[in-house]
Amino acid sequence: MQGVIKAYDPTTGDGLVMCDTDLQDYELAGNALEGSLFRMLRQGQRVIFVLDDAGRATQLSLGSEVDMKTPGH
């Protein structure tokens, strides 16, 4: 899945990512940044993610307009 970080608290690790396709907000899983390049996230940052069994965003990786096949990029 692909989306944009809507909110992120670096102190607690809590955050939300809004999915590009269904416009739903998904909470970040506690392990969302494990094994990724990210140490923290910023609002508006584009990411690729998967949902865990609880429906939370995890396995975040770097996304870009090209990766996400955004028209015009």
What's the CA gap between 23 and 10, in Å, rounded? Answer: 23
What's the CA gap between 60 and 9, in Å, rounded? Answer: 16
Domain ranges of the chain: 2-62
Give the pLDDT confidence score for residue 40 in this predicted structure.
84
The answer to whether 2 touches 57, Cβ cutoff 8 Å, is no
Give the pLDDT confidence score for residue 20 in this predicted structure.
94
Give the pLDDT confidence score for residue 36 in this predicted structure.
78
Question: What pTM was computed for the model?
Answer: 0.80
Per-residue pLDDT tens over the stretch 14-70: 999 999 999 999 999 999 988 877 788 999 999 999 999 999 999 999 876 555 555
Give CATH superfamily name and number for 2-62.
Nucleic acid-binding proteins (2.40.50.140)
Give the pLDDT confidence score for residue 19 in this predicted structure.
96
